[in-house]
Amino acid sequence: MADDPQRNFRSTYYEKVGFRGVEEKKSLEILLKDNPLDLEKLSTFSQRFPLPSMYRVHVWKVLLGILPPHSDSHTLVGSYRKDQYQDIMEALEDEENEDFLSISQAMEEIVEDPVDCYWLIKSFISQFHTKFGDSIPHLPKSLEHYLSQEEPGLLSHLKNSGALAQLPYSLWFRRCFAGCLPESSLQRVWDKVISGSCKILVFVALEILLSYKIMLLGISRPEGVVKFLCNIPQENTDVIVTKAIDLWHKYCGTPIHAM
């Protein structure tokens, strides 16, 4: 797939969670007919098969516990954060919940419809942990390697000051920059993650360090470095992401499924 900076990441997910099979439809119709409020069966089904859009609202309501028996109401409730995504959070380790909530909050700023938002978050989290769960712990070393190639002086400063080990890796790599980048820039990064590469996260982090090199070199305490990197200026992030994508191509060619 050719890289298109204007391609909205949501289009990829609408394709991935779209309904194409016949057997899945038959299975779900039988399930809903037998017992529309069987939460365990619905949860199992939604984990095994992509759902057609005609059923997503129904299942979403059932999982939230807001659909009474035989109800035809199409009224949707507002965002509940933890309550709304409880079925997803139960599948995560406790320490992953805050990362998940940061991603969900960012997604809610991007996607207006709460049902679409729910399924996009569910798919994003599932793909991220399934495909990249084993790779995420190695990304800090990868960042160190590329920083040594691009700016060894800055790397030495971060090491000597003790800041390198305390960089906001969770914010960058586990939360995929949710809460760090504004939504307009975040979509471009997530587009690459969804397309099959978590390594783009390394190059976004690298470009942040390079872009604020002068500022970082002037900070001697690690907590000062972390505080600044967790609250980077928001007006220059589109340029940072563009340069990060250029670095990604420089070191990885034109990757389709890098790392």
Residue count (the chain) = 259
Q: Sorting pLDDT into bands at 50, 70 and 90, what band is 33?
A: low
Together in a domain, 115 and 173:
no
Together in a domain, 199 and 100:
no
**Positive/negative CA dihedral, 11, 13, 15, 17:** negative
Amino acid at 220: S
pLDDT of residue 98: 77
Together in a domain, 103 and 142:
no
pLDDT of residue 120: 87
Neighbours of 197 (CB within 10 A): 21
Whether 88 is covered by a domain: the verdict is yes
Q: Sorting pLDDT into bands at 50, 70 and 90, what band is 66?
A: very low
**CATH number for position 164:** 1.10.472.80
Structural domain harbouring 28:
9-132
Last residue of a domain, one of 72, 100, 132: 132
More confident residue, 13 or 22: 13
How would you write the chain as a 3-class SS string? CCCCCCCCHHHHHHHHCCCCCCHHHHHHHHHHHHCCCCHHHHHHHHHHCCCCHHHHHHHHHHHHCCCCCCCCCCCCCCCCCCCCCHHHHCCCCHHHHHHHHHHHHHHHHHCCCHHHHHHHHHHHHHHHHHHHCCCHHHHHHHHHHHHHHHCHHHHHHHHHHCCHHHCCHHHHHHCCCECCECHHHHHHHHHHHHHCCCCHHHHHHHHHHHHCHHHHHCCCCHHHHHHHHCCCCCCCHHHHHHHHHHHHHHHHCCCCCCC
Last residue of a domain, one of 95, 112, 132: 132
pLDDT of residue 104: 86
pLDDT of residue 160: 96
More confident residue, 258 or 134: 134
Q: Sorting pLDDT into bands at 50, 70 and 90, what band is 19?
A: very low
Together in a domain, 156 and 238:
yes
Instruction: Report the range of poorest mean pLDDT among 31-40, 149-158, 218-227.
Output: 31-40
Q: Are 83 and 64 in contact (CB under 8 A)?
A: yes
Number of domains making up the chain:
2
Instruction: Report the range of poorest mean pLDDT among 61-65, 108-112, 224-228.
Output: 61-65
178 φ, ψ (degrees, to nearest 5): -65, 125
Together in a domain, 120 and 176:
no
Together in a domain, 102 and 23:
yes
Together in a domain, 84 and 170:
no
Average pLDDT over residues 33-47: 50
pLDDT of residue 177: 97
Closest CA to 125 of 158, 91, 148: 91
Whether 3 is covered by a domain: the verdict is no
Q: Sorting pLDDT into bands at 50, 70 and 90, what band is 221?
A: very high
Last residue of a domain, one of 81, 114, 132: 132
256 φ, ψ (degrees, to nearest 5): -100, -45
pLDDT of residue 101: 81
pTM summary value: 0.68
Whether 154 is covered by a domain: the verdict is yes
Whether 111 is covered by a domain: the verdict is yes
pLDDT of residue 100: 80
Q: Are 71 and 87 in contact (CB under 8 A)?
A: no
Q: Which pLDDT tens digit goes with each residue over 167-215?
A: 999 999 999 999 999 999 999 999 999 988 899 999 999 999 999 999 9
Together in a domain, 101 and 212:
no
pLDDT of residue 213: 97
Instruction: Report the range of poorest mean pLDDT among 12-26, 178-192, 232-246.
Output: 12-26
Together in a domain, 155 and 112:
no
pLDDT of residue 119: 82
More confident residue, 87 or 227: 227
Whether 257 is covered by a domain: the verdict is no
pLDDT of residue 116: 84
Together in a domain, 120 and 171:
no
Instruction: Report the range of poorest mean pLDDT among 70-79, 81-90, 126-135.
Output: 70-79
Whether 94 is covered by a domain: the verdict is yes
Together in a domain, 94 and 205:
no
Whether 258 is covered by a domain: the verdict is no
pLDDT of residue 77: 31
On average, the pLDDT of the chain sits at 76
Together in a domain, 14 and 123:
yes
Q: Sorting pLDDT into bands at 50, 70 and 90, what band is 93?
A: low
Whether 259 is covered by a domain: the verdict is no
